[in-house]
Structure 1
Amino acid sequence: MTGAPLLLGVRHHGPGSARAVGAALEAARPRAVLIEGPPEGDALLPLAADEQMRPPVALLAHAVDDPGRAAFWPLAEFSPEWVAIRWALAHGVPVRFIDLPAAHSLAMTEEDERRGPAERAGEAGSPPVPVDPIGVLAETAGYDDPERWWEDVVEHRAHDGRPGDPLAAFAALGEAMTALREVYGDGGRPRDAVREAYMRIQLRTARKEFGDDFAVVCGAWHVPALEARTTLGADRALLKGLPKAKAELTWVPWTHHRLARHSGYGAGIDSPGWYAHLFASPDRPVERWMTKVAGLLRDEDRFVSSAHVIEAVRLAATLAAMRGRPLAGLSETTDAVRAVMCEGSDVPLALVRDRLIVGGTLGEVPDTAPAVPLQRDLTRLQRTLRLKPEPSERDMELDLRKDTDAARSRLLHRLRILGVGWGETTEGRGSTGTFRESWRLRWEPELYVRVAEAGVWGTTVLSAATARAEADAVAATALAEVTALAERCLLAELPEALPVVMRVLADRAALDTDVGHLADALPSLARTLRYGDVRSTDTAALGEVAAGLAERICVGLPPACTGLDDDGAAALRRQVDGVHTAIGLLAGAVPANADGLRERWRAVLRKLAARDTVAGVIRGRAARLLLDDGHLEQDDAARLMGLALSPGTPPADAAAWIEGFVGGAAGGGMLLVHDERLLALVDSWLSGVSPDAFTDVLPLLRRTFSAYESGVRRTLGELVRRGPAAGGAAAGAGTVPGGGATAPGFGPVLDGPRADAVLPVLRLLLGLDADGDGAAEGHDHTEQPLGATG
């Protein structure tokens, strides 16, 4: 190799560029290879030859004093930089990164964020819109799609059977970029001048060591700037005074999905799976692609034959010829797959895009790659628990009675405390028991940054989660925050953090006099006590705090329910629901106070239901809770409704009472279906509302009844249309004790024998044993009456 250094301008993540770089390096055999990237990563480059290293991977740089400030430099198997690194390592040639150090780029990003866009715009006017050089060249060539132009002039060259000079494409692309730089200057990227000055200095250093016998792999946009003749003093002047932060680098796995993000190199691609296929296919890329698609669709039980593959290949070639393209590209193959294999449907085509065009590949890095101690401990736990990070979303059911599943649950809950959102809890499909947990897991590369951030709390997941929980408890300002944290500590099994949290909880609970805050805090405590039974945790102290909160709520809630506006009443109604459920749980968790606690709460509900000064939505809800628990007779419920819907009650207050009593999806509609008297009261009241008032109450009523299932709404409509006395004493209609007919199909009272006949089926559906004296797997070991609600 003679003359000037070999400048190989590439498109990041371009398989055509990657293949051309490999051919150019084989032809030129340089003594060294310089690559656009952070120089702090030079020590990590030998790991690229490790057998455990499987792209896509990324260089992760983060500030030591602020791990959340990070940047990625992703590399795929088809990235030109990756090909150059592997070629240099395989041939024993020195390979180095020459871009601006991450120490400067991270600090400059922090400075820009601190100054804010308004300040930056004030200094230099409106920030320029960066130029897309590929888009400009494609438009100049008459293309409306830059990706299609790039495929035609670069990607398809390796598959069109034409031999050529491996350096010719780089020379042509360099000339094009030179012309663009003459017109657009820095292209709206003022920081590029600083980066390019640093790269020119590194080229001068390499020239002293290797002469001109070295190659440079960089973005094609930078080639004209690296060829420019400048003085060393001028380049150093551009670098003078740059901010600096201490940075650490490592390799982390990356995904094809994340290759579309504009990070690090500032380049993203929409179809990494397709590009990986082009790079890996030695010949006949379209035929091989159609075979992959057919295999995927067959795995999904779609009928795709060899004839479909042949016809799809022919159609793709025909479309390419009609569109004037040298070979079929992604758009042609996609259109052919849709027409031939998917029968014109975009539903299976979406699967092809997700699984093949984008792909779900997750890279791997060697165990010897640098990592913070917390990451190493997490990796060890993942392997021990056979909980492999995966880029695709998956659901997982855990049985907490099994040691491995319980350990998995603890790990996931501890990571949530640390802010590492690997998994989210979901509604279980198979059970509502406390021995089951349902999780939805998805590992994103950004979680490595979150782990690095959490490393300041400790070197293991357990110690870091404990320290973070203690710090969060001390810093919490609201009582509900502390109770929620106590619940998370119990789920994560952090015995050392729980005493600190409990001490803070007791202090906050003693000082907080706001009933709303107490009501928000109690449900978390009740759930925590329930989980304590499952996880064999001593929660005696927690039970005392919870019982004390419940007592204070019972005393302070009635006065707090007066003088509320609509929003305040709605919020307090939700809190009443939460407290009602919590007290039900507490009664089972604290049996010593069970009866007294239940009775005090019932007395509170009776006060709320009977007091005219209480907001209608709360009065209605209190009456409904008493009715559901069997502590309010049907006649009394009808009397309360009659009072609430009397002519002297303002329509808006009456509508609010109805919303509290039968609103929502918790069986309110079925209550009206089965109790003709209540439905008649609502119907009579609504018929008597004046037109002007009806306009005001309509939104509230719509909100109340729209929550019902469609079948319930339809049944109510039929009952109202028929009228309560329709049919008189016709067959199928019952009579209520006070006279009057019920709706056809409904009796006046519960038919006990017919209701009992349903119990075996219910027990089978709920997984209860035949005798009803135990619980099946996944359910609590305490049995509630099948008819109990609330």
Structure 2
Amino acid sequence: MGEVLRGAQMDPVSAGADGAQELLRESAELFEKAYRPEDGLVCWPVRHHSPVCSIHLAKVIREYRPDIVLVEGPEEANTYIPVLLHEETKPPLAFYYSYHDSGKYIAEEAGEYRCYYPFLEYSPELVALREAAALGVESGFMDLSYAQILIGSAEGARLLRKGEKESYNDDYLLSENTAIQELCRKKGLRGFHEFWEKYFEIGGLHRDTKDFMRDLLFYCLLSRKNTSREELLRDGCLLRERFMAGRIAEQRKQGKRVLAVMGGFHVRGVLAFLGEYEPEETKLPALRKSLPEKDCAVYVMPYSEEQADQLNGYASGMPHPAYYHRVWEAAQAGSETPFTESSIDFLIRCGKAARQKDAGISTFDEICGVQMMEGLSALRGKPECGVFELSDGVLSCFVKGERDISSEIPLLLLKRQLSGRRTGSLWSGAPIPPILQDFQQKCKDYQIKINTTVKSERTLDIFTTKRHREISCFLHQLIFLETGFAVMLKGPQLAKGTGKNLIRETWQWQYLPAVTAELIDKSVYGGTVEEAAKSWLKRRMEENAGSEEGSRLCIHSMEMGMPDLFFQILAKLREWISEETSFDAMAACLFNLSQVEERQEMYRIPENTAVSDMVRGAYEKLILMLPGIASCREEEQEKRLKSLRSLYRIAQKTDHGLDSQMLYEGVRLMLQQPDLNPAIHGAGLGILYGFDRDAEQEILFTLGGYLRGTHEKMLAAASFFRGLFDTAKDLVFVNPAFLEAMDGMLRQIGEPEFLEMIPNLRLAFCYFTPSEIDSLGGRIASLYGKKDGELLAEQAADPYLFALGERIEAWAEESLRQETGEAG
């Protein structure tokens, strides 16, 4: 391992032979300073969620027997250590940290921030806490509070990213640098994870613990050498390292033997702040002496392997948690080859799952897969088969033929199995946030069972029973908060425009651990479900949502029973409508507002003319925007057709009081624009036909122009049909003459051109229902003197007779040619 790392291509800071020797000297010195059990200090480096790091760490704790174990992690979570260690608590778990920046220390606007600190069964941090408890010694977290880390970070820091579920632990400093990328390239490895598994997991398992620590410190020092000081300052690393060093120093002053567990990247920095190295002149941000207690929160919550899997978005630690959990279990059971044992186990499980999916995997394929894994591990210089040999074995032996959607089923199954499905559980006495208490109380009040994971259903008379309306609002709030607790099976769905005639809602709910996790995740927005929903609604409103999203928020506020916020959104919506430049967004806004106008009285929204005024304003703006969509690109036409159809249907309704003549004139103007998209052309003429039946002749004339035009124009006729049938499919039923004229035009097209048109023609007729297709087929059959279904019953020519006829025809043509030639 050491030889491999020493061969790394380093940046100018450590390049060349002299640079490599200096790095070796520094890493040896770092080990001597970090591992000093005789002096009462061990700074143990880890990679988050590494099972082999945990195995060596447990050995060190048992041999060293410190007086206190300090673990990297925000210290405000110390009160939850008994919960983590309780026998009823089962990983995966996570600390959930939140901070409301009411003092505006981070940005000009007060914002909400949150992050996660996951623990798997084999996470080094959890193993350290458990080993300390087993020895009966103190333990605790030693890092800055989450809020102080945020305040001490600069703009662009990872924890300050918006719209992402951020992790407190982030190994990017170990994996994202040019030296490691170059090293992987030279060694023929596909990336950092394969490098890590080969040299630190599989390679490190049977190494002496001190040698393992030396290798890991060398690697971490190499990573630190290739990380700029600006990046360390930006992400608050130096600030955190100074704080952790201070906590270690406090314990040492009391004469305690300390073992400190931290990300390997931080060991050099912490030791520098402990005075083991010459201090660098760096001005660090000042810490806030105190922050409002109400702005800071931490809770422990159930987590899942799937959430913790880096490949599903978690930016820290090892991927494939289920696989490494199996490795950990095998190692704890005394297996000499836990990686190979786990790889074979997963390969067999993958084969079994693939057989259940009829993927055609046999026992022989599994035997070949094991042989492939073992052969690859030998070729790659690995003492055992790891997860990358497992994946390659499945790809080589389970994927038959070319890799495509149908043949890669085994790979998809394996990926799901490697990610895992375990979910954690908490001790029943664990503190829970107020929002979870409110949820549980509301469920009790509304007789919603959450003491079982069985799905339950209830029908609510939301417009006649006040209590049912309250339950509906509560369930809509949970949907808005994306808790995954409930789903409405039947009822008026305003945003979709379905179920408008229904006066009851049928709900189904199921209480799973993930619901608890989502509610804790949303606790940053409020202490009750309603408060959190209101805060989340306000936040989305304040993010300059736009006309489409803003109108959707109006619907949400109605469904959740928040009339005060409804009118606040409505006031903002007027501004968003005036600024909107997208035809599709404006059409969606009009649709949503029309739903609101039709239903606001039933949802007990006080009468107000503002909605009607906005419907009219959105409608008139859409009319003005019509000429701009005439020449839309082909990839945009489906959205434009949907928007045109929605506009047309709303204009036809009398209860909105809209001037349909405006739409007629607007479409006329649109059809006069150059470079008219064929589908938009057809849809526009279909709308005109809806207003004026005399437009049928114009449609036939235009269709003739397409079918008798150039080759490109002829092929565009299919798109014209798509648009026409989208807005006026009844045209083919009400007037037999139109169907005859269309049939006559299509018969004049050559066979090659017709075959090219077929795909788009099929799409054009997808607007018809099955019964309409049957009716249309009967009408077309009658044009040829056939009865309904007889066209489909026509017998195809015998292939032998057809081939014989072709040969006879060729012989006849050749005979005539020869006779004509002789006669000439």
Class of the TM-score when normalised by the shorter of the 2 chains: 0.5 to 0.7
Question: Are positions 1:663 and 2:723 aligned together?
Answer: yes
| Counterpart position of 2:391 | 334
| Counterpart position of 1:298 | 352
Pairwise CA distance, 1:182: 9.7
Pairwise CA distance, 1:576: 4.8
Return closer, same or farther for 1:206/1:639 CA change in 2, 3 Å cut-off.
Answer: closer
Q: After superposition, what is the alpha-carbon deviation per residue over 1:708-766, rounded to whole angstroms, capped at 9, x for unaligned?
A: 436969xxxxxxxxxxxxxxxxxxxx9xxxxxxx9995435999x969xxxxxxxxxxx
Question: Are positions 1:41 and 2:104 aligned together?
Answer: no
Q: After superposition, what is the alpha-carbon deviation per residue over 1:427-463, rounded to whole angstroms, capped at 9, x for unaligned?
A: 99xx9645689999996999678614422xxx32224
Return closer, same or farther for 1:611/1:137 CA change in 2, 3 Å cut-off.
Answer: closer
| Counterpart position of 1:319 | 376
Q: After superposition, what is the alpha-carbon deviation per residue over 1:273-314, rounded to whole angstroms, capped at 9, x for unaligned?
A: 221211111325334543344345434515666666555444
Which of residues 673, 694, 709 in structure 1 aligns to 2:762? 709
Pairwise CA distance, 1:84: 0.2
Which of residues 161, 168, 182 in structure 1 aligns to 2:210? 168
> Contact between 2:69 and 2:132, CA under 8 Å: does it hold in 1?
yes
**What letter matches 1:333 in structure 2?**
L
Alignment of 1:93-492 (within 5 A): 93-112=137-156, 131=177, 146-156=192-202, 167-173=209-215, 176-177=218-219, 180=222, 190-191=232-233, 192-211=237-256, 213-227=257-271, 231=275, 241-244=285-288, 246=291, 247-261=296-310, 267-281=316-330, 282=333, 283=335, 285=338, 286-299=340-353, 301=356, 302=358, 312-341=369-398, 343=400, 347-366=408-427, 372-378=433-439, 413-414=476-477, 433=499, 451-455=522-526, 459-466=527-534, 483-492=551-560
Q: Counterparts of 1:210 and 1:226 in 2: how far apart (Å)? A: 19
Q: Counterparts of 2:596 and 2:287 in 1: how far apart (Å)? A: 48
Which of residues 667, 675, 680 in structure 1 aligns to 2:739? 675
SS at match of 1:269: coil
**What letter matches 1:89 in structure 2?**
A
| Counterpart position of 1:580 | 648
Pairwise CA distance, 1:76: 1.8
Return closer, same or farther for 1:368/1:110 CA change in 2, 3 Å cut-off.
Answer: farther
SS at match of 1:537: coil
Q: Counterparts of 1:5 and 1:672 in 2: how far apart (Å)? A: 87
> Contact between 2:525 and 2:531, CA under 8 Å: does it hold in 1?
no
**What letter matches 1:577 in structure 2?**
R
SS at match of 2:603: coil
Return closer, same or farther for 1:626/1:70 CA change in 2, 3 Å cut-off.
Answer: same
Pairwise CA distance, 1:333: 2.6
The percent of aligned pairs where both chains have the same amino acid is: 18
Pairwise CA distance, 1:102: 2.9
Q: After superposition, what is the alpha-carbon deviation per residue over 1:314-364, rounded to whole angstroms, capped at 9, x for unaligned?
A: 443343334332122222233333444555766133233322222244434
> Contact between 2:142 and 2:244, CA under 8 Å: does it hold in 1?
yes
> Contact between 1:198 and 1:235, CA under 8 Å: does it hold in 2?
no
Pairwise CA distance, 1:706: 7.3
Q: Counterparts of 1:142 and 1:553 in 2: how far apart (Å)? A: 59
Pairwise CA distance, 1:100: 4.1
Return closer, same or farther for 1:37/1:519 CA change in 2, 3 Å cut-off.
Answer: closer
Q: Counterparts of 1:528 and 1:445 in 2: how far apart (Å)? A: 32
Q: After superposition, what is the alpha-carbon deviation per residue over 1:87-125, rounded to whole angstroms, capped at 9, x for unaligned?
A: 2233332112233443432113354569x99xxxxxxxx
> Contact between 1:624 and 1:662, CA under 8 Å: does it hold in 2?
no
What are structure 1's unaligned runs of at least 5 residues? Answer: 118-126, 391-395, 688-697, 714-733, 735-741, 756-790
Q: Counterparts of 1:81 and 1:251 in 2: how far apart (Å)? A: 15
Which of residues 100, 120, 127 in structure 2 aligns to 1:64? 100
> Contact between 2:587 and 2:643, CA under 8 Å: does it hold in 1?
yes
Pairwise CA distance, 1:32: 0.9
| Counterpart position of 1:782 | none
> Contact between 2:718 and 2:764, CA under 8 Å: does it hold in 1?
no
| Counterpart position of 2:57 | 21
| Counterpart position of 1:638 | 697
Q: Counterparts of 2:648 and 2:195 in 1: how far apart (Å)? A: 65
SS at match of 1:72: strand
**What letter matches 1:324 in structure 2?**
G
Q: Counterparts of 1:369 and 1:137 in 2: how far apart (Å)? A: 46
**What letter matches 1:56 in structure 2?**
P
Alignment of 1:500-579 (within 5 A): 521-528=589-596, 537-538=603-604, 541=607, 566=631, 576-579=644-647
Deviates more, 1:462-471 or 1:38-47: 462-471
Return closer, same or farther for 1:320/1:194 CA change in 2, 3 Å cut-off.
Answer: same
Return closer, same or farther for 1:750/1:509 CA change in 2, 3 Å cut-off.
Answer: farther
Return closer, same or farther for 1:663/1:102 CA change in 2, 3 Å cut-off.
Answer: same
Q: Counterparts of 1:563 and 1:174 in 2: how far apart (Å)? A: 62
**What letter matches 2:299 in structure 1?**
T
| Counterpart position of 1:747 | 782
TM-score (norm 2): 0.62
TM-score (norm 1): 0.64
Return closer, same or farther for 1:140/1:299 CA change in 2, 3 Å cut-off.
Answer: closer
Deviates more, 1:351-360 or 1:310-319: 310-319
Return closer, same or farther for 1:172/1:504 CA change in 2, 3 Å cut-off.
Answer: closer
Q: Counterparts of 2:135 and 2:472 in 1: how far apart (Å)? A: 48
SS at match of 2:97: strand
Q: After superposition, what is the alpha-carbon deviation per residue over 1:551-605, rounded to whole angstroms, capped at 9, x for unaligned?
A: 7889998888689975699999865532332356x56xx5xx9xxx69x64x566
> Contact between 2:45 and 2:267, CA under 8 Å: does it hold in 1?
yes
How many equivalent pairs are there? 671
Q: Counterparts of 2:220 and 2:629 in 1: how far apart (Å)? A: 71
> Contact between 1:130 and 1:188, CA under 8 Å: does it hold in 2?
no
Q: Counterparts of 2:486 and 2:50 in 1: how far apart (Å)? A: 33
Q: Counterparts of 2:702 and 2:83 in 1: how far apart (Å)? A: 79
Deviates more, 1:334-343 or 1:24-33: 334-343
**What letter matches 2:418 in structure 1?**
I
Q: Counterparts of 1:349 and 1:521 in 2: how far apart (Å)? A: 44
> Contact between 2:546 and 2:577, CA under 8 Å: does it hold in 1?
no
Return closer, same or farther for 1:531/1:337 CA change in 2, 3 Å cut-off.
Answer: farther
SS at match of 1:172: helix
Pairwise CA distance, 1:265: 11
Return closer, same or farther for 1:549/1:678 CA change in 2, 3 Å cut-off.
Answer: farther
Q: Counterparts of 1:515 and 1:9 in 2: how far apart (Å)? A: 53
